[in-house]
Structure formats: C-alpha cells, structure tokens
Amino acid sequence: MSQIHVVLVEDDKELRDSLVEILSLQGHPVTAFESADKALPCIQYNCNSIVISDIRMPNMDGMTFLQHLQQLDTELPVILISGHADIETALKCIKQGAFEFIEKPLHPEHLLGITAKATQHRRLTLENRKLKQAATRQITLDELLIGDSEPMLKLKQRLVTLANADINIVINGETGTGKEKIARTLHNQSTRKDKPFVAINCGAMPENLIESELFGHEAGSFTGANKKRIGKIEYASGGTLFLDEIESMPLSAQIRLLRVLQEGELERVGSNQSVSVDLKVLAASKENLLEWSQQGQFRQDLYYRLNVASLDIPPLRDRKTDIPLLLGHFLHAAELKLDRKAPALSPLHFEQLMKHHWPGNVRELMNEADRIVLGISDLIYPTEKTECHSLAHQLTQFEYSVLHHTLNQFEGHIGATADHLDIPRKNLYLRMKKFGLKKEDYNPNALPLGNAQENDC
C-alpha cells in the first residue's frame, strides 16, 4: 500500500508553511490548501489520506468541512486545530466524528504523535477494506462452488473468465453435478447481476405449453388464453435466461429460439408485432449436444448459436478429494434443517464414502448427508454407539482431516507430505492405508501406493 498522504488546510500562510515543514521532515507527504473549499474536491472515498484542518477559516469553516468529509468517508481521520478552543468545542468536534482535536499554540511533538496515530489508523482501515472485499468475492464463489480439487479450481478460473464475457454458453454436466448453480454463479458474477435470472427446465415442461411459456402469447391466441402473457424470454430481457435440459426442447421451439438469438427480437404466440430482447443465454445439457446436432437430434445451427463457449462440470467421482469438504457443508445444512446432530463418522465410514462411485453426483452426496443425520444411511454402518463421540473417534477424525488436506496441498507428493508432517514416509504410507487414502486420488499422474518407492517425488 502506498504511503498515507496528509491534506493540510490552514488559512494562515506562515503557520501553513511551518506545518508543512514539520510534517515533511518526519517523512509525511503533504499537500497544503489555504481553504477547505479548495481541498474538498481532492478528497475521495478510500483515498490514502488523512486531514489536518483549522476550524476558523473563511468560506467554509472546519466544522462544515468535517461534515462534508464524513459524508464522503466516515472512517477518514480528520484532525481539527483551533486557537479559540474550549471544552465544549472540543467535545463537539469529537462527537461529530473528528479523529482528534488540538489547541493552538501547536507543539510539534504532540502534532506529530497524533499524525502518526491517524496515518496508522487510516492504513489499517484501508487494508481491512481491501481484505473484506477480497474475502467477499472469494466467499461468493466458494460458497456456491465448494471444492479445492484441481478440476474445481480449473472450473472456477474458467467461470470467472466467462462471467465477464457477454456471450451464450453451454454448460455440460451429468445429472446432479449442479448445472443450475453454475448458471446462477455465472449470472451473479456478470454485469447482468442486477437484472433477472430466469430458469426454465425444458424437460419438465409439456410440449404444447413450452412455446407459450418461452415466448408469451396474446389474449385469444389459443383456447384458454384469456389474457396477454409475457413469456420467460421477454421477462429475462436485460438479464440471463437459463435453459436446463435444452436437449428436450421441441423442434418448433428450437426454430423460434434460433430467430430470437439471430434477430434479438421475438413475437408472442398469436401476434405479428416484434418485441426487442437483450439476453445472455445459458443452456445446460446432460447429453453431448454436439453429437446430438451431428445426428440430427438437435438443430445444428442453434447449437452453434448457443455454444459460443462451454463449461464442463466434472462428476463427483473425478474430484473425490472434495468429498470431505462437501460432506461437512451438507451435514451442517442437514443438522439445521432436521434439527438434530449428525453422528461421528469412523475411518471405515470415510473409506466407504470415498470408495462410492456417486452416480448421482453432488445431489446424491447432499441426500446422503440427510440420511446420515437421520441415521438411515445405506452407505455407512455405525459401530458401537457408545464410541460415536469418544476421544479416540474424534482424534481419528482429526488425523484423517490432517492427512487429507496435507496430501491435497502437496498433490499426493509423498516426500513433501511426510516432510511437512514431520513423520517417516513409512508411517505416512501406513496411515494412508489405514484410511484408504491413495496418492493417485490427489495426483492423477502419481503411481498407485503399492508401486511407490522410497525415491518417490
């Protein structure tokens, strides 16, 4: 962070020059003004500055100046000085938000001490703001997309890139991988985030109603159409339209959607009047749309209109190192929802969860968390109930967690993991075997544990 700057406002030229010299000799960059109205335009929210100002000045006095500065930035340190002070004035200044009040005649040591405190306060304020902003961005993304495996990190990086691009995107992923979550994240990270996000499941909508739902209709356009209806596409204008299971969309609707994407306008069912629309379309499919378009099962021209870019969501079986993190998140949510505590999980339980294929992906794991909390899981079998919360079980869980996160940190690198944990490699191998952990789960290029040698890197 750059050095904190001092904005000095003093109408007495002799005193102003003297204060500039005192502050500059102590290494404080100073910009001096003879009046507050001239200084005010130079101060902005989040500026690397503090303010030292006289109270009695022409045009705008120090108290009025302070009020304006408080409107700009309530945490900006403002030091007020006056030669006509009393206790009432000092209290009033502090009450209205001044950082400190100093009486004239000024003592350089006292002024420099307060200036140092003010600059340190400003530096910490700006650093905290920066950290909070960074943390907010990170939490927003990571809360929606839980996981720190390599496939998930790559997905997040690509997502951030595509969110800033105002283009149509195809989202590919198996059932239960979280395609709608990805779509909502793309919308929330984009410049369209303040406009509507409209989601439609094309597979769940009756074929005879989908065109009316998408494009809207005029009153009397068909039996039952008693009044005009705005369609989902028109309602989403300015924002994002998410079409889930796009492969299920009827051919007639595909043709009309293609025209909307080409022309930027639509016609409601039963109308000849065009309505302009501005859309970012996110289309999700569990099928290979390219193959479907090549086989004639999906319009090829529509596919290329939609697939300006694509996002591939990895199945859970390809990112098993994320399971402990995901499970912890889902168990906590299940505890709140079901109002009961989850039982402690033994190493055997973890091993079973890690070995499962998870055909239903993240959605299946989320449902499994509910079953664990309810005590009806098909995957895990509680052992002695008296040990569920024993010290031994809790220490075992902690050991598993440390091993998992360290192996993940060093991408399955046995030597680096052993060095970091300060244990012999042989002990690390034994502990990994105990929990069913395999180095290849953390590094696809690694040799299986049984083939590992002492010179493993």
Confidence of residue 259 (pLDDT cuts 50, 70, 90): very high
CATH 1.10.3720.10 fits 5-129, yes or no: no
Query: What's the mean per-residue pLDDT of the chain?
Result: 84
> Could you tell me which residue, 272 or 264, shows the higher pLDDT?
264
User: Which pLDDT does position 45 carry in this prediction?
Assistant: 84
Per-residue pLDDT tens over the stretch 303-320: 999 999 999 999 999 998
Express each pLDDT in 192-240 by its tens digit: 999 999 999 998 888 778 888 898 878 766 666 667 788 899 999 999 9
- Decide if pLDDT at 434 tops 80: no
**pLDDT tens-digit readout, 46-95:** 899 999 999 989 889 999 999 999 888 899 999 999 887 667 777 888 88
Q: For the segment 142-201, what is each residue's pLDDT rounded down to a tens digit?
A: 666 888 888 998 998 899 889 888 999 999 999 999 999 999 999 988 889 999 999 999
Long-range Cβ contacts of 251-259 (<8 Å, 24+ apart) = 251/299, 252/211, 253/210, 253/211, 253/214, 254/298, 254/299, 254/302, 255/299, 256/211, 256/214, 256/215, 257/214, 257/233, 257/302, 258/299, 258/301, 258/302, 258/305
**Residue pointed to by tokens 């694509």:** 310
Q: Can 5-129 and 149-314 be said to share one CATH topology?
A: yes
CATH code assigned to 149-314: 3.40.50.300
Has this prediction a pTM greater than 0.85? no
What is residue 227's predicted lDDT score, i.e. its pLDDT? 76
What is residue 91's predicted lDDT score, i.e. its pLDDT?
80
Sketch the domain layout of the chain as residue ranges: 5-129, 149-314, 318-451
